[in-house]
């Protein structure tokens, strides 16, 4: 069957070219989206550093402060159960929160350095590969740590109140971690191609 051409019946198909596929905003270089994100990361990094510092001081202080008459209330809303606040429990609680924030502080530190290279318009550097791998590793440790800590709390501290952790809770974090490691490999390949291009005369 012969079909008439689109132009002959008055329909013009849109042309796809590199110009059409470009994003309206600049994503790399000075004054681009990445430089805005870098400023946001800088602010978040300073705030997180302050919070982590305060938590670290609190953790050190919790070794010495008297906690004889303090209780912890474990509750799921209706009726709570009280249990004495022990020194190991306090140190575990404050320490876990400090480690959580410290982990994200290290992730933000790496991200800031990566975004600095994006702002300079030169992202494919071997250092970025190392940074992305570190971020993936820290993310894995923090996620695993949170999963184990929540499991411990659910089993020991609040049995029946908190739902025990399941393996399905790890699916999304594991996927994110794998994406970071794949991104690191993409950057490694980019850095290799950049080096090849530099040494092509």
Partner 1 sequence: MAIRVQLDRILAERRMSLTELADRVGVTVANLSILKTGKARAVRFSTLDALCRELDCQPGDLLAHEPGPGDAFDDAEE
Angle between helices 126-152 and 87-119 (to 10 degrees): 160
Which element (helix H / strand E) includes 126? helix 126-152
Cβ contact 126:192 at 8 Å: no
Reading the block at residue 199, the tokens are 């040494």
For the bound state, the minimum distance from the C-beta of residue 197 to partner 1, rounded and expressed in Å, comes to 9
Reading the block at residue 104, the tokens are 């994200």
Q: On the CB side of 103, how many CA atoms lie within 13 Å of its CA?
A: 18
Taking the least distance from each CB to partner 1, the nearer of 11 and 201 is 201
For the bound state, the minimum distance from the C-beta of residue 195 to partner 1, rounded and expressed in Å, comes to 8
- In angstroms, the CA 101 to CA 48 distance is 7
For the bound state, the minimum distance from the C-beta of residue 125 to partner 1, rounded and expressed in Å, comes to 16
- In angstroms, the CA 130 to CA 60 distance is 32
For the bound state, the minimum distance from the C-beta of residue 126 to partner 1, rounded and expressed in Å, comes to 12
Taking the least distance from each CB to partner 1, the nearer of 21 and 199 is 199
- Helical segments of 27-168, H only: 33-64, 87-119, 126-152
Q: Provide the binding-site residues for partner 1, judged by CB under 8 A.
A: 192, 195-196, 199-201
For the bound state, the minimum distance from the C-beta of residue 113 to partner 1, rounded and expressed in Å, comes to 24
Reading the block at residue 184, the tokens are 């690191």
Residues 6+ apart with CB under 8 A from 91: 59, 62, 63
Give the phi and the psi of residue 143 in degrees, each rounded to 5: -65, -45
For the bound state, the minimum distance from the C-beta of residue 189 to partner 1, rounded and expressed in Å, comes to 12
């Amino acid at each position: 069957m012969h079909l008439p051409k689109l132009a002959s019946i008055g329909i013009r198909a849109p042309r796809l070219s590199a110009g059409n596929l470009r994003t309206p905003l600049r994503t790399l270089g000075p004054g681009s989206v990445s430089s805005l994100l870098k400023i946001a990361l800088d602010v978040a990094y300073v705030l997180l550093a302050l919070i982590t510092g305060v938590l670290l001081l609190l953790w050190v202080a919790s070794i010495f402060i008297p906690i004889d008459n303090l209780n912890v209330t474990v509750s799921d809303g209706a009726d709570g159960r009280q249990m004495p606040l022990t020194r190991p429990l306090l140190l575990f609680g404050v320490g876990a929160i400090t480690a959580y924030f410290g982990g994200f502080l290290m992730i933000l530190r790496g991200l800031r350095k990566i975004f600095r290279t994006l702002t300079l318009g030169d992202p494919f550097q071997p250092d970025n590969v190392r940074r992305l791998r570190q971020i993936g590793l820290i993310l894995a440790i923090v996620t695993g740590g949170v999963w184990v800590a929540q499991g411990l709390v659910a089993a020991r501290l609040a049995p029946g109140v908190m739902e025990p952790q399941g393996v399905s809770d790890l699916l999304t974090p594991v996927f994110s971690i794998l994406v970071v490691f794949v991104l690191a490999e993409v950057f490694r390949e980019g850095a290799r191609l950049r080096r090849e291009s530099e040494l092509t005369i």
